[in-house]
Every structure is written in structure tokens, then in C-alpha cells.
Amino acid sequence: MKSEKVTKKSDALFYNKKVYEGEFGDNYDANSIDSKDFYRQRIFKKKVNEIIKDISNKNLHLLDIACGTGLLSLDYYSDSKNSKIYNNDISRNMLNRLKNKLSSKDPERSKFICSGALEFLKKTDVEFDLIGMASALHHYYDYLDILDISLRKIRKGGYLYIALDPQLTNDYKNYLLKIFKTLDNAFLSYKTDKISPSKFVLYLLSSPFNFVSTIVNRNKGLVRLRRKILNEPLENPAGEDYLLSEVRDEGLYLKKIIGIIKKNGFKITYLNGAPNYNFEFTYKLLNFLGLNNHFQLIAKK
């Protein structure tokens, strides 16, 4: 399946499990960057806290679909003391890493479900107060079906929360986003990796060429030189399998998502660009310009 896109649900599950159970998953942790430096994590925590405070039910049932290592569900644990928390992921590896982060009492109110999301949702008879999905839907070929059944599993007064999933954008917006991303990564490397000022200048100067090379396939020598100096890996460690696990790499159909939400009797209370970059200024600027290709959505039943 080289350079092909996934066209079947079974293939999507296969590649996601292969990537996150394998070498890439061994080194993956969505919470690895400290929340003080990782702007989007602070936004997630704020939104989850607002949702949980608004739910009138005291004994909450909270579900995190494709929970990974706990990008969302760790906020469930800290913001809701009297709750049952359901962590669902296709990868046993990811679930085990999440378990290792929990306090001694947390497992008592936890349920870990290693399966595809659709299979779990079809079987469970639990009504949830909150179903969250952080950077999840674009991993599923059948994401509209997963969304539809999720909404039917939420009780009256409950919430759906989606964060970080990409939506369709035009080519012009994508070009601008790539420029922002390469420059943003330069500042992130300077801040977190403590690279020298000379390397930082090289990164800045070569970032636009790196962007150009993704479009016209030129300047590979300069890109490789920059990566060598900064000790960056030349290839994605998970290779083609990782690309195939991102089965909706061209984006999600946001209009269809909104249509399904409204069809199920939910009111959208928040919809905005999501912080797919790491700095507050960049995030706010992209939203102001209408260029952010990720979205954050909250809907209430």
C-alpha cells in the first residue's frame, strides 16, 4: 500500500495498531512536553474543567476515545473526583503507559477498553456525561459513524468535546500554514532543545527552503544539512505506516460533522480554531487570520 490512502476501516485499524504498538508507540507520549510550555494542553484543561463544572449529575461517566497516553483523560481525573472514567484505545501499549501515570486510587474508578471505538460504542450500554476526542477522528476511516453513535450514547445535559482534528482547507491556506509551522518549529527548538544562537539562525534561514522543498521537491541538500547540524532524524521513524495511520490526512468534513451533531439534537456551544502549534501568539494570529486548519468543538445535549 505504498503512498496509497487507506480506503477500508480494517486497514485503518491495522495501521494504527501497528504504529502505536510498535517502535513509534514505544517513544510516543502526547503529554511529554510540560504543560507550562505546551499551550494547547492548557486550553484542553480549561475546556474540560468548564464542561465538567456545568454538568449537573454528580456521579459522572466520562469517556476518552482514542485516549492514547492521556492527553484528555488525565484532565478527567484531576477535574472530577466522583466519576467513572473510560479510556478507549486500539493500542494496549498506549493504555499501559496511561495506567503508569495514574495515582494509586485512580484505577479503582477506571475502565480500560482496548478495541476499536466503533466496536466498543456498539456494545456498551453506558450513558456518558462527556465523550471526548483529542486528535482522534482523523485516525478513523469511519469517523462519521463513530461520531453518530457517540452522540447517541450521551445522556441529556451531557457533552461532546472534539479537539485538534484537521478540517479541509484550500491550497493557499495550506501553504501559509506550512510557513507558519516551519518558523514555529524553529522557535520551539530554540526554546526546548536549547540550541545555540547560530543553529537557531540556520534553522530560521533554512525553514522557508524546507517549506519550498515540500512543494517543488528542491533544496534537499540544504534541508539535509540543516537536519544534520540540528541532529534531526531524516525520516519519520514510523515511515509509511505512520502516514497510513493518519487516514484523513487531507482533513475532515466539518460541515458533515456539524450536520450529524445537530441531527442528534445537540447545540454547538463552542467552535474555534484549535492550537495545532505550540505558541500562544501563533495560535491567536492564525485564528485572527482564519488560517487554522484544526478545530475545537463543544456540543451540549
Measured distance CA(142)–CA(161) in Å, rounded? 18
Q: Which three cell numbers stand for residue 271?
A: 467552535
Measured distance CA(177)–CA(155) in Å, rounded? 38
Q: What is the pLDDT of residue 130?
A: 98
pLDDT tens track for 115-130: 999 999 999 999 999 9
Q: Which residues pair with residue 162 across a beta bridge?
A: 133, 297
More confident residue, 104 or 138: 138
pLDDT at 263 over 70: yes
CA-based diameter of the chain, in Å? 59
pLDDT at 217 over 60: no
In terms of Cα–Cα distance, which of 133, 139, 164 is closest to 20? Answer: 139
Residue ranges and CATH numbers for the domains of the chain are 9-168+242-300 (3.40.50.150), 171-239 (no CATH)
Mean pLDDT of the chain: 82
Q: What is the pLDDT of residue 81?
A: 82
Q: Which residues pair with residue 112 across a beta bridge?
A: 87
pLDDT at 143 over 90: yes
What are the percentages of helix, strand and coil residues in the chain, rounded to 5?
A: 50, 20, 30
Q: What is the pLDDT of residue 138?
A: 92
Q: What is the pLDDT of residue 218?
A: 42
Percent of the chain with pLDDT over 70: 77
- Residues whose CB falls within 8 Å of the CB of residue 197, separated by 6 or more in sequence, listed in order: none
pLDDT at 219 over 50: no
pLDDT at 107 over 70: yes
80-96: average pLDDT? 93
* Contact yes or no for 209/219 (Cβ under 8 A): yes
In terms of Cα–Cα distance, which of 168, 166, 134 is closest to 47? Answer: 134
Measured distance CA(110)–CA(130) in Å, rounded? 15
At residue 62, φ and ψ (nearest 5 deg) are: -115, 130
Which of these ranges, 49-53, 177-181, 261-265, has the smallest mean pLDDT? 177-181
Measured distance CA(164)–CA(137) in Å, rounded? 9
128-154: average pLDDT? 96
Amino acid at 220: K
pLDDT tens track for 163-199: 989 887 667 777 777 777 767 766 766 666 666 777 7
